[in-house]
């Protein structure tokens, strides 16, 4: 069984996989990672391999402790990947995007696939049917747009995400909701349309923290995956374990 450790700035996502099937998932604070892993180790006696993503947020003691418990892969620029990386600056490609593309290769092999990760930023990543990763785009996410309106203006409030009632807002708050939400929806729909013009057989994946909210509003045919990044990390661990 495999342990997937996806480390963010303040939180860590932990997932246990048996082959391709996720058995357990939790989100914890960074400082509690070793205690949580110890509990999982006791619960799953055959948990023996691990992958760490975004290792920079862990301290050396935490890393050494994990490596002492598991056969551990630290995801980096030299890790064996299931796709051909055509990115001009491969060392700057985020490990989260690497994991998303890997998941697409695993679940949708030989497809032209656009992966849209709607989180703090909205990332667009494209891999073609020859398993060549060509790049994509990075744009502000929903909450980043709300915060920008508040931070960079004198009088606009900081709002929580809400679906606007109409494209035509009749108050300042409704105008802001319309601008942010419909702006993102139209951006995503426009990006999908541009890729479809070039690749008629395009598969579109939507994931990330805002995927559930956005999937209800998008007209395009998409596949929504809540654990797509974790699945990609597990797949990377699998192909490196088979070497």
In a domain, 239, yes or no: no
Task: State the Cα–Cα distance between residues 201 and 219, nearest whole angstrom.
Answer: 17
Give Cβ neighbours of residue 239 (< 8 Å, ≥ 6 apart): 80, 81, 82
Set 20, 96, 125, 210: catalytic member: 96
Task: State the Cα–Cα distance between residues 241 and 97, nearest whole angstrom.
Answer: 21
In a domain, 177, yes or no: yes
Residues 140 and 201 in one domain: yes
Q: How many domains is the chain built from?
A: 2
* pTM summary value: 0.92
In a domain, 238, yes or no: no
In a domain, 220, yes or no: yes
Bind-site residues for substrate: 87, 94-97, 172
In a domain, 121, yes or no: yes
In a domain, 137, yes or no: yes
Could you say which of 23, 53, 74 is where a domain stops? 74
Do the strands 132-140 and 84-85 form a parallel or antiparallel pair, or are they unpaired? parallel
What's the pLDDT at 243? 54
Bind-site residues: 6-13, 87, 94-97, 117, 120, 172
Query: Domain span at residue 27?
Result: 2-74
Residues 105 and 54 in one domain: no
In a domain, 79, yes or no: no
Could you say which of 43, 74, 105 is where a domain stops? 74
Bind-site residues for K(+): 117
Task: State the Cα–Cα distance between residues 27 and 15, nearest whole angstrom.
Answer: 9
What's the pLDDT at 242? 76
Specify the CATH number for the domain of residue 210: 3.30.420.40
Bind-site residues for ATP: 6-13, 120
Catalytic, 78? Answer no
- The H-assigned helical ranges of the chain are 33-43, 60-69, 95-107, 142-151, 172-177, 183-198, 211-215, 228-241
In order along its 243 residues, the chain shows pLDDT tens digits of: 999 999 987 789 999 999 999 999 999 999 999 999 999 999 999 999 999 998 678 899 999 999 999 999 999 888 999 999 999 999 999 999 999 999 999 999 999 999 999 999 999 999 999 999 999 999 999 999 999 999 999 999 999 999 999 999 999 999 999 999 999 999 999 999 999 999 989 999 999 999 999 999 998 889 999 899 999 999 999 999 975
Across 96-116, b (16+ Cβ under 10 Å) vs e yields: bbbbbbbbbbbbbeebbbbbb
In a domain, 243, yes or no: no
Residues 94 and 144 in one domain: yes
- For 224, other C-beta atoms within 10 Å of its C-beta total 17
Residues 70 and 88 in one domain: no
């Amino acid at each position: 069984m495999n342990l997937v450790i996806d480390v963010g700035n303040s939180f860590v996502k932990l997932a246990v996989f048996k082959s391709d099937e996720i058995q357990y998932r939790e989100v914890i604070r960074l400082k509690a990672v070793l205690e949580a892993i110890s509990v999982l180790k006791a619960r799953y006696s055959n948990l023996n391999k691990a992958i760490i993503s975004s290792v920079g947020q862990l301290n050396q003691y935490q890393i050494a402790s994990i490596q002492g418990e598991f056969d551990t892969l630290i995801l980096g620029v030299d890790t064996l990947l299931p796709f051909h990386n055509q990115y001009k600056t491969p060392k700057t490609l985020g490990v989260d995007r690497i994991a998303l593309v890997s998941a697409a290769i695993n679940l949708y092999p030989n497809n032209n696939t656009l992966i849209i990760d709607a989180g703090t930023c909205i990332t667009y990543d494209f891999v073609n049917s020859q398993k060549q990763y060509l790049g994509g785009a990075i744009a502000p996410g929903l909450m980043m747009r709300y915060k920008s309106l508040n931070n960079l203006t004198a009088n606009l409030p900081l709002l929580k995400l809400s679906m606007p009632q109409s494209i035509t807002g009749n108050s300042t708050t409704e105008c802001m909701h319309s601008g942010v939400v419909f702006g993102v929806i139209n951006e995503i729909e426009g990006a999908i349309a541009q890729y479809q013009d070039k690749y008629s057989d395009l598969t579109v994946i939507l994931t990330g923290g805002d995927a559930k909210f956005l999937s209800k509003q998008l007209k395009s045919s998409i596949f929504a995956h809540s654990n797509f990044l974790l699945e990609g990390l597990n797949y990377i661990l699998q192909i490196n374990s088979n070497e």
